[in-house]
Amino acid sequence: MSNKVIAIVVDGMRFDKACEALGFLQHLVETNQASLYKVKSELPSLSRPLYEVLLTGTPVSENSITSNQAVQLSTEKSLFHLTKENGLRNGTASYFWVSELYNRAPFHFIEDREQEDTSKPIQYGKFYWDDDYPDSHVLMDAEALRRKHDPHFLYIHPMGVDAKGEAFGSESKEYREQILKIGSLLAQLLPIWIKEGYHILITSDHGMSETGNHGGITDGERDVPLFIISPKVEPGVYSEVVPQLAFAPLVCELLNIEPSNKMISYQLPGLKGNITI
């Protein structure tokens, strides 16, 4: 069984709208080829703090990334650190805040746009900084990294859904259309990745309110989807709400590496082998 993972974090994609609009993924769920969970995001429901949550499995009270204005390197051990320490390759196509968390802060827009340095936590990276940088380009940046460097852990982070949500609100035509676009792009790439044996996770950092903001405690701001395509996870729709802190140790389980000692222990419903992560 492969130990390669592709994780797609669609920024700002709330649970209910993703369930309505991601038709191909829902087809995979309906035909017992994927599983679907609801994840409750950590607080605050903001991007930079939740990138850190997803990638280190630590809450903001421990990791100090408490706001979007926390422009600093993380002091925690991320999935990038862990893959590197275990002799695995990693790569990402992401918003530049991810680079600032793990490679260098502040971001240098010329020098840090493309990164290839196996001595750093993020070994191979392509980063963007305009919120309206096309999701199609982010996904193709990631696919180019995958084909060139064959990473064991590939982290993909498109921003278009968040940008439309903040501009027009979660009930808008524009927000739904952007999720539909992501669904169409994934429908083109997922069959390739599935055929090549990847474990695939699709989730979000936070949701979006009807008025186009996030950071608070409402379900619309906190509830996000987690789709999993993996032979290690039983297909189906699960009702148990998954804590967002469980994402990082789940990736470690799929990569077959030890999680950090700060990651939580959590029994993911449907994980085969009755293994606690």
Q: What is the pLDDT of residues 2-52, one digit of tens each?
A: 899 999 999 999 999 999 999 999 999 999 999 999 999 999 999 999 999
Measured between alpha carbons, how far is 90 from 80 in angstroms, rounded to an integer? 6
Read off the pLDDT of each residue in 51-64 and give the average, rounded to a whole number.
Answer: 98
Single-letter code of the amino acid located at 15: F
Sign of the alpha-carbon dihedral angle for 86, 92, 98, 104? positive
Contacts of 226 (CB under 8 A, 6+ apart): 36, 37, 38, 39, 201, 202, 203, 242, 247
**Degrees (nearest 5) of the Cα angle 5, 35, 37?**
95
Inter-residue contact 247 to 203 (CB < 8 Å): yes
Please tell me the predicted confidence (pLDDT) of residue 2.
81
Tens-place pLDDT, residues 233-257: 999 999 999 999 999 999 999 999 9
Q: Please report the pLDDT score of residue 276 as a whole number.
A: 46
* pLDDT greater than 80 at residue 118: yes
Nearest alpha carbon to residue 56 among 83, 25, 29: 83
Q: What is the pLDDT of residue 277?
A: 44
Chain segment 137-185, per-residue pLDDT in tens: 999 999 999 999 999 999 999 999 999 999 999 999 999 999 999 999 9
Q: Find all residues with CB under 8 Å of 86, minimum gap 6, and list them.
A: 255, 257, 258
pLDDT in the model for residue 275 = 46
Interior angle at CA 112, CA 251 and CA 87, nearest 5: 35
**Ordered DSSP codes for 26-91:** HHHHHTTS-EEEEEEPPSS--HHHHHHHHHH---HHHH---STT--S---S--HHHHHHHTT--EE
Residues 6 or more apart whose CB falls under 8 angstroms from that of 206 comprise 11, 12, 41, 45, 46, 47, 50, 214, 221, 222, 224
In the structure, what pLDDT confidence band is assigned to residue 274 with cuts at 50, 70 and 90?
A: very low
User: Distance between CA atoms of 98 and 94, rounded to whole angstroms?
Assistant: 6
Is the pTM of the predicted complex or chain greater than 0.95? yes
Mean of per-residue pLDDT scores for the chain: 97
Give ∠ CA 203-208-214 in degrees, rounded to 5: 110
Q: Please name each of the domains of the chain with its CATH number.
A: 5-255 (3.40.720.10)
The mean pLDDT value for 83-111 works out to 98
